[in-house]
Amino acid sequence: MDMRDDDVAQDDASRNEVAVVGGGPAGLAAAEVLAAAGHRVAIYDRMPSVGRKFLLAGRGGLNLTHSEPVPDFLRRYHPSGSLAGAIAAFPPDALRAWCDGLGEPTFVGSSGRVFPKAFKASPLLRAWLRRLEGAGVGIRTRHRLVAVEDGTLVFETPEGKSWTRPKAVLLALGGASWPRLGSDGAWVTMLANLGVAVAPLRPANAGFAVAWSDHFRERFAGQPLKRIGLTADGVIVRGEALITADGIEGGAIYAVSRALRAMIERQDRSGKDAGGKGAARLVLDLRPDLSRSALAERLSDPRPGESMATRLRKGAGLSPVAAGVLREAAGVALPADPDALAGLIKAAPLRLHAMAPIERAISTAGGVGFDGLDAGFMVRKRPGLFVAGEMLDWEAPTGGYLLQGAISSGRAAAAGMAAWLAGREDVSAA
């Protein structure tokens, strides 16, 4: 690789640094641990400022983690056990204590989710960046990584190409969701060229397409479905969803999105669905607080001349949007029989024919497989190269699990790097 004299000078100036590429939660967490271990750290990020997706996550209230018992907490992560070690080393209680140490105390909401008392991401990010600055961490923005060549990092910057050869590299480049915020998945080809196995990136925590009727779409797009139950391939959750012009999304949908995506992928592989395209079956319980028999009793003996809309509203207690979903699910006239109608309300089937594209997803599944990493998150085939955050092949639902996973894995990878560097320095000293 050709290097100009000024490029060599830059390499000489930075060779005692460790580089963290990616200024999201995983990268910032890694930089903090490395600086505390006494290393000179530089963070590189392609955007004009760091933490952009972190700020977006906090736009409606920053959900940092969850208060449920750690064994239950760990079951939210897939593949099973993928981040168990990292989270055990920095569990939810440690994350809350860390926030408190930054002057941003947290609280547990009624759902068990944990939020900063400020309820925003920006105060926490500002305090975090002040801590990093005080630790001597350098932040170099508008640096887009375009190559990793024998330990040399090649960046594109507004001034042209830039080279640096740090002591070790930690990549925390994110997945491929919300690419306008900096994570576009371009690193997949880069790592594949280095012989690193990467599972295909797929959307996670995303909405799904539903072929609504024009009438339903025009009337109910943008309205929430509250207090519902959902079942997808044996996974059962309760929560809320949001009707969109082309489908359905929201917290309850995200909680079953992995199961729904798997159903669609199975259909795609088998080609059994009409037209050879995948589809998933989502079953909605529009009154999860009532049994079928109790609901049927409420729907019995309608008044003479009572319309079905009134019967659903008064007897079943369905909102207009829930009644609309029921009609869409039935596809035909609703049954008059109380038990049959109650059965449909308790198990209204929706056909979902596609998942939202990855750029509209909240997070990403797929990535660098754990089989190719050692216990310290170092790439086995590339000593000195570490990976953390959403680049790794794990996924979890919303609810605090994503940020916890990113921060815990960033800290774990940094600890792995610090241990590896210490071992090298001991060998050099010998």
Report DSSP letters for 164-226, one per residue: E--SEEEE----SSSGGGT--STHHHHHHHTT--EEEEEEES--EE----HHHHHHHTT-EEE
Residue among 373, 368, 371, 369 nearest 420 (CA): 373
- Indicate the pLDDT class of residue 6, thresholds 50, 70 and 90: very low
Q: Which residues pair with 422 in a beta bridge?
A: none
pLDDT tens digits, one per residue of 271-294: 654 444 668 999 999 999 999 999
- Indicate the pLDDT class of residue 5, thresholds 50, 70 and 90: very low
The confidence score (pLDDT) of residue 4 equals: 38
Cα–Cα distance for residue pair 321/221, rounded to 1 Å = 9
Mean pLDDT for 219-228 is 97
In contact, 404 and 384? CB cutoff 8 Å? no
Residues with Cβ within 8 Å of residue 47, at least 6 apart in sequence: 23, 141, 142, 181, 182
The confidence score (pLDDT) of residue 192 equals: 93
Cα–Cα distance for residue pair 430/427, rounded to 1 Å = 5
Residues with Cβ within 8 Å of residue 8, at least 6 apart in sequence: none
- Helix and strand totals (H; E) in the chain: 16, 20
pTM score of the predicted model: 0.91
The confidence score (pLDDT) of residue 15 equals: 67
Residue among 376, 389, 388 nearest 417 (CA): 376
Cα–Cα distance for residue pair 203/365, rounded to 1 Å = 6
- Tallying the residues shown for the chain, one arrives at 430
* 280-285 and 348-352 beta bridge pairing: antiparallel
Reduced to 3 states (helix: H, G, I; strand: E, B; else coil), residue 114 is: strand
Cα–Cα distance for residue pair 322/429, rounded to 1 Å = 70
Cα–Cα distance for residue pair 139/129, rounded to 1 Å = 9
Residue among 21, 242, 57 nearest 145 (CA): 21
Q: In the predicted model, is pLDDT for residue 321 greater than 90? A: yes
Nearest 5°: phi and psi at 282? -110, 130
The confidence score (pLDDT) of residue 424 equals: 73
Domains of the chain in start order, with CATH, are 5-204+363-429 (3.50.50.60), 208-355 (no CATH)
Cα–Cα distance for residue pair 265/300, rounded to 1 Å = 42
Q: In the predicted model, is pLDDT for residue 237 greater than 90? A: yes
Amino acid at 163: W
Cα–Cα distance for residue pair 87/77, rounded to 1 Å = 11
State how far the alpha carbon of 260 is from the alpha carbons of 154, 161, 377, 399, in Å: 39, 43, 30, 18
pLDDT tens digits, one per residue of 254-264: 999 999 999 99
- Indicate the pLDDT class of residue 304, thresholds 50, 70 and 90: confident
Nearest 5°: phi and psi at 63? -90, 100
The confidence score (pLDDT) of residue 87 equals: 98
Cα–Cα distance for residue pair 102/130, rounded to 1 Å = 9
In the chain, % of residues over pLDDT 70 = 93
Residue among 191, 186, 167 nearest 176 (CA): 186
The confidence score (pLDDT) of residue 425 equals: 59
Cα–Cα distance for residue pair 391/385, rounded to 1 Å = 13
Q: In the predicted model, is pLDDT for residue 303 greater than 90? A: no
Q: Name the least confident of 16-20, 154-158, 241-245.
A: 16-20
In the chain, % of residues over pLDDT 90 = 86
The confidence score (pLDDT) of residue 14 equals: 59
pLDDT tens digits, one per residue of 403-430: 999 999 999 999 999 999 999 755 443 3
**Average pLDDT over the chain, rounded to an integer:** 92
